Amino acid sequence: MKNFRDSEHLLRFAFLFAMVLALFLIVRHFVVPKSFGEYGHYRGAAIGETAARPIHFAGQSACATCHTDIAATKQAGMHAGVHCEACHGPLAKHAADPASVQPPKLDTAVLCVRCHAASAAKPKNFPQVAAAEHSGGLVCETCHHPHSPAIQSEGAK
Amino acid sequence: MNLSRRQFLVLVPATAVAWQYVLAGTPRDAPNYQLADHWWGMLLDITKCIGCGNCVRACQAENDVPDGYFRTWVERYLRTDWNLTTPEVISPDGGKEGFPTAEEVKDGMYFFVPKMCNHCADSPCTQVCPVGATFITPDGVVLIDQTYCLGCAYCVQACPYGCRYIHPTRHVADKCTLCYHRITKGLTTACCENCPTGARQLVDLKNPNDPIHAFLKTHDVHVLKPEMATGAKAFYNGLDGSVR
Amino acid sequence: MGGVEGYMYPNEINLYWSVLIVVYPYVTGLVAGAFILASLVRIFNVKEVAPTYRLALLTALAFLIVAPLPLLLHLGHPERCFEMYFTPHDTSAMAMFGYVYIWYLMAVLLFEIWLDFRHDIILTARSSKGLKRAFYVLLSLGSNNTSEHSLAVDERAGWIVTLIGIPSAFLLHGYVGFIFGSIKANPWWSSPLMPVVFIFSAMVSGIALVLLVYMFTTRARHREIDMPCVDTIARYLLYIFIIDFVMEMLDLVHRIYVADESFRSINFMVHTKLYFSQIVLQIYIGTLVPLILLGIVQVTRLSPSLRKAIYALSAALIEIAVVSMRWNVVIGGQLFSKSFLGYTTYKIGLITHEGLFMAVFLTLLPLAFLWVLVKILPPWPELKRGMNRVASVTMP
């Protein structure tokens, strides 16, 4: 077998190649996460992990569970579509533990203007005012109750 | 204002259990949530957006978005009558603190465009990910596996909408998750929850009762950059041709 | 926001691909180019360039070892890089690049170098002692057969490996081009010509580099530069450079004439932020000047010393052109907004881990590797064993 003896060194390199490949396959077997490929080419468990992230905004219905009176007032007025946390901020902690976590006080001077300051860029049918001229220096809630802002509404206490 | 009544209500076992379930749990453990029953998207109504920035702030609060990066942002367009395809656009700090006052212009039109991940059905970003760290879930949301992402930024380059960024401290790709942790528990997204005018509506195309189906029959709805053929699922009502 | 003109999407203001991503296609291109030069000798039987054959192979290896480093340093999580091999995403050009890279390193370049140097390795092992002997025995993988027939087997196998190596080299760099060319979101990149342009510019840069390394090392060793060898290399360099230039101009002219929605952005960019690197460095200084110089050599009879000077100058200018081209593609593609309404600025760091010094270091690092490789496996043509065997490649 003269032919083999003179080409056996090629097998040595091939063996090196095969060893690297085998090592790769062994390592791969242990390293690839178990849920990889469960739904597609990704780690299936990542879906659950993303879904388990903490919630900060409790959501309108959580607020209305307890604050039934305010929810009813709001529902009857112009701000029916504005959810509680849009002004009051993220309050999931408050919803989970109402006694110990209290929502911060709000500054209507900032809040109202954020939406209602006049600008040519806003839709024409959206109520907007030039804040400086509109109230003559009075704060918004002198005339408008935030939960039911139309002036004729006396429903809110 | 009866605090004890509220406390009592929260302590009613059914409510408490429901809320605990909302706060924790995975969709696959939740008996009510089936991946196969949903196909999520978002309706963005340009005719209703007032550029208040509530969505941007809410998104940041809900998702711990680093300053200077945006999972959602708002742009203000000024499209003049002289050039219908080249608008002037601004988005100061992503519109987080609103916009400067705009004065009426005779030969032009202002409008706001909220932007976010389009959760494309044929997303270029998931296509290019070398390791499968970003993917489309069976319910149609494009997510990122933060424990698997290399941070190569190829997906950032591939997104035609500029929705992705590399998180400055986690060094992985990041973007809108469509508040996946909320929508899988029956809540809406933080941006929709906090939009005062209803300019953003979470959409579930697989839900036959979703108002989107009636809306799409009666409105002129488009997606951004349709020529990119990404299967975008951020549906825009009243989208002007100058929007990019 | 500093450096922004017009409107950028807010997430676009920072560039995510830094100067290291400029270095990566440049270094990879040098590998492919150097290998193509080596294949000229072996497959296309261009005997004149035989003196550079082994040097070209070692150059390719030195640069191939460094090629993944800029990518790795750029990653947000380099420790996760093996995911590219463990769970490669079949629709990602970048994932496939990982496999093409390993294939090229293991199956082509290492194998070919091993076959070509096996005889020398064994002879060195036999004539040395101690640790050095052990090292060379290890390099030979324990093989000790230097019979005529076994060397002929090496020749035959090496020829086949080179034959496989040519398309592999094209694949290696074509893939790099495809990484950019396949991004439909970016009109500056999205082009079917991108892989082609990358391949030809890679060949040009690799051949020019080997030419420089050959001339430098020969002079440093006080030997005579083989004029027919460098004349031939320069001729091939000119031909391939013409093809490369035509392809790039075709791409440019097409963009200018078609003038689609992105054109206003790109046109503005080329005239401002990219003017120096694209028009001045890449086209005028890096392309037209060496094309004219190399062309003059073809049509006139110049003295050898003048020709050598022209070759060295042209090769150096060509390297500048190819680095600029990579810069213009990678950085240029991120300077304008995908809204086509604005531009940002790339602020290059100096001593940051993705800064200029790191880029220069990584570009020069392969030369250090090459120095080590040359010490271990001397490729010099006057060591006759190598010469004779290369000259006898056609022998079946």
Instruction: Give me the pLDDT at residue B21, please.
Output: 53
Contact A31 C114 (CB under 8 A): no
Cα–Cα nearest to A56, from B163, B32, B71, B179 = B179
Contact B58 A57 (CB under 8 A): yes
Task: Check if C132 contacts B (Cβ < 8 Å).
Answer: no
Q: Does residue B13 have a pLDDT over 50?
A: no
Instruction: Give me the pLDDT at residue B22, please.
Output: 54
Alpha-carbon gap, residue C84 to C95, rounded angstroms: 6
Which residues on chain C are in Cβ contact (under 8 Å) with B170? 76
Contact B124 C183 (CB under 8 A): yes
Rg (CA), chain B: 19
Spell out the domain ranges in chain B.
39-237
Chains contacting A with at least 3 CB pairs below 8 Å?
B, C
For the domain spanning C19-247+350-391, the CATH number is: 1.20.1630
Interface probe with C: pick from A5, A13, A26, A42, most Cβ of C within 10 Å? A13
Residue C349 has which token pair? 């760091």
Q: List the single residue in B91, B115, B132 with the smallest CB-CB distance to C89.
A: B132
Mean pLDDT in residue range B173-184? 97
Which residues on chain C are in Cβ contact (under 8 Å) with A8? 143, 145
Instruction: Report pLDDT digits (tens) over C331-384.
Output: 999 999 999 999 999 989 888 888 999 999 999 999 999 999 999 999 997 775
Alpha-carbon gap, residue A26 to A36, rounded angstroms: 17
Instruction: Report pLDDT digits (tens) over C246-297.
Output: 999 999 999 989 988 888 888 898 899 999 999 999 999 999 999 999 999 9
Contact B162 C88 (CB under 8 A): no
Q: List the single residue in B26, B52, B98 with the smallest CB-CB distance to A51.
A: B26
Instruction: Give me the pLDDT at residue C225, please.
Output: 94
Task: Check if A105 contacts C (Cβ < 8 Å).
Answer: no
Cα–Cα nearest to B27, from B143, B201, B148 = B143
Instruction: Give me the pLDDT at residue B20, please.
Output: 55
Place of tokens 């390193």: C105
Residue A85 has which token pair? 């946390």
DSSP string, C245-308: HHHHHHHHHHHHHH--TTHHHHHHHHHTTTIIIIIIIIIIIIIIHHHHHHHHHHHS---HHHHH
Q: Are C9 and C337 in contact (CB under 8 A)?
A: yes
Q: List the single residue in B87, B149, B165 with the smallest CB-CB distance to C77.
A: B149
Residue C162 has which token pair? 């080179």
Angle among Cα B67, B68, B73 to the nearest 5 degrees reads 105
Among the four given CATH numbers 3.40.50.170, 3.30.70.20, 3.40.1190.10, 3.40.640.10, the one describing domain B39-237: 3.30.70.20
Q: How many CB atoms lie within 10 A of CB A68?
A: 13
Residue B24 has which token pair? 């924790």
Which ranges constitute the DSSP H helices of chain C? Answer: 20-42, 53-66, 68-74, 83-86, 93-102, 111-126, 130-139, 148-181, 193-220, 227-258, 263-271, 289-299, 304-330, 332-335, 356-376, 384-391
Q: Are B63 and B70 in contact (CB under 8 A)?
A: no
Instruction: Give me the pLDDT at residue B77, please.
Output: 97
B 192-211 → A contacts, CB under 8 A: 193-198
Where b means 16+ CB within 10 Å and e means fewer, A44-57 reads bbbbbbbbbeebbb
Q: List the single residue in C111, C149, C152 with the smallest CB-CB distance to A13.
A: C111
Instruction: Give me the pLDDT at residue A101, please.
Output: 86
Cα–Cα nearest to C12, from B157, B85, A138, A119 = B157
Q: Which amino acid is at B44?
A: L
Give me the phi and psi of C16, to 5 degrees please: -95, -20
CA closest to B145 among chain A residues: A46
Give me the phi and psi of C302, to 5 degrees please: -105, 160
Q: How many CB atoms lie within 10 A of CB C237?
A: 25
Q: List the single residue in C10, C92, C339 with the smallest CB-CB distance to B130.
A: C92
Which residues on chain B are in Cβ contact (under 8 Å) with C331? none
Contact B193 A59 (CB under 8 A): yes
Q: Does residue B31 have a pLDDT over 80?
A: no
Which residues on chain C are in Cβ contact (under 8 Å) with B130? 83-84, 88-89, 92, 94-95, 98
How many Cα atoms are found within 13 Å in the side-chain-facing hemisphere of B11?
A: 8
Q: List the single residue in B87, B130, B153 with the smallest CB-CB distance to C89.
A: B130
Give me the phi and psi of B93, to 5 degrees please: 50, 45
Within its chain, how far is the Cα of A113 from the centroid?
A: 24
Task: Check if B79 contacts C (Cβ < 8 Å).
Answer: no
Q: List the single residue in A51, A66, A85 with the smallest CB-CB distance to B6.
A: A66
Instruction: Give me the pLDDT at residue C2, please.
Output: 65
Contact C143 A31 (CB under 8 A): no
CA closest to C330 among chain B residues: B157
Instruction: Give me the pLDDT at residue A67, please.
Output: 94
CA closest to C338 among chain B residues: B160
Alpha-carbon gap, residue C287 to C242, rounded angstroms: 9
Contact B129 C89 (CB under 8 A): yes
Type and span of the H or E element at A65 = helix A60-66
**Would you write out chain C's pLDDT as a tens digit for each of its 396 residues?**
468 999 999 999 999 999 999 999 999 999 999 999 999 999 998 999 999 999 999 999 999 999 999 999 999 999 999 999 999 999 999 998 889 999 988 889 999 999 999 999 999 999 999 999 999 999 999 999 999 999 999 999 999 999 999 999 898 888 899 999 999 999 999 999 999 999 999 999 999 999 999 999 999 999 999 999 999 999 999 999 999 999 999 999 999 899 888 888 888 988 999 999 999 999 999 999 999 999 999 999 999 999 999 999 999 999 999 999 999 999 999 999 999 999 999 989 888 888 999 999 999 999 999 999 999 999 997 775 544 444 444 433
Q: How many CB atoms lie within 10 A of CB C167?
A: 11
DSSP string, chain B: --HHHHHHHHHSHHHHHHHHHHHS--TTT-TT--GGG--EEEEEETTT-----HHHHHHHHHHTPPTT--SEEEEEEEEETT-TTS-EEE-GGGGTT--------TTEEEEEEEEE----TT-HHHHH-SSS-EEE-TTS-EEE-TTT-----HHHHH-TT---EE-TTT-SEE---TTHHHHTTT---HHHHH-TT--EEEEETT-TT-THHHHHHHS-EE-S-GGG-----EEEET--TT--
Spell out the domain ranges in chain C.
19-247+350-391
Alpha-carbon gap, residue C71 to C55, rounded angstroms: 26
Residue A95 has which token pair? 């919803």
Residue A49 has which token pair? 């992990």
Q: List the single residue in B15, B22, B104 with the smallest CB-CB distance to A120.
A: B104
Contact A31 C90 (CB under 8 A): no
CA closest to A62 among chain B residues: B19
User: Number of A:C CB contacts under 8 A?
Assistant: 44
Which residues on chain C are in Cβ contact (under 8 Å) with A7? 150, 153, 157
Residue C46 has which token pair? 């261009």
- CA of C3, closest CA in chain A: separation in Å? 27
**Would you write out chain A's pLDDT as a tens digit for each of its 157 residues?**
567 888 899 999 999 999 999 999 999 999 999 999 999 999 999 999 999 999 999 999 999 999 999 999 999 999 999 999 999 999 999 999 888 888 888 888 889 999 999 999 999 999 999 887 888 888 888 889 999 998 864 544 4
Interface probe with C: pick from A6, A17, A23, most Cβ of C within 10 Å? A6
Cα–Cα nearest to C145, from C119, C120, C126 = C119
Residue A51 has which token pair? 């879904």
Q: Which residues pair with A36 in a beta bridge?
A: A43
Alpha-carbon gap, residue B22 to B30, rounded angstroms: 10
**C269 CB burial (10 A radius; 0-12, 13-18, 19+):** buried
Chains contacting C with at least 3 CB pairs below 8 Å?
A, B
Alpha-carbon gap, residue A78 to A106, rounded angstroms: 19
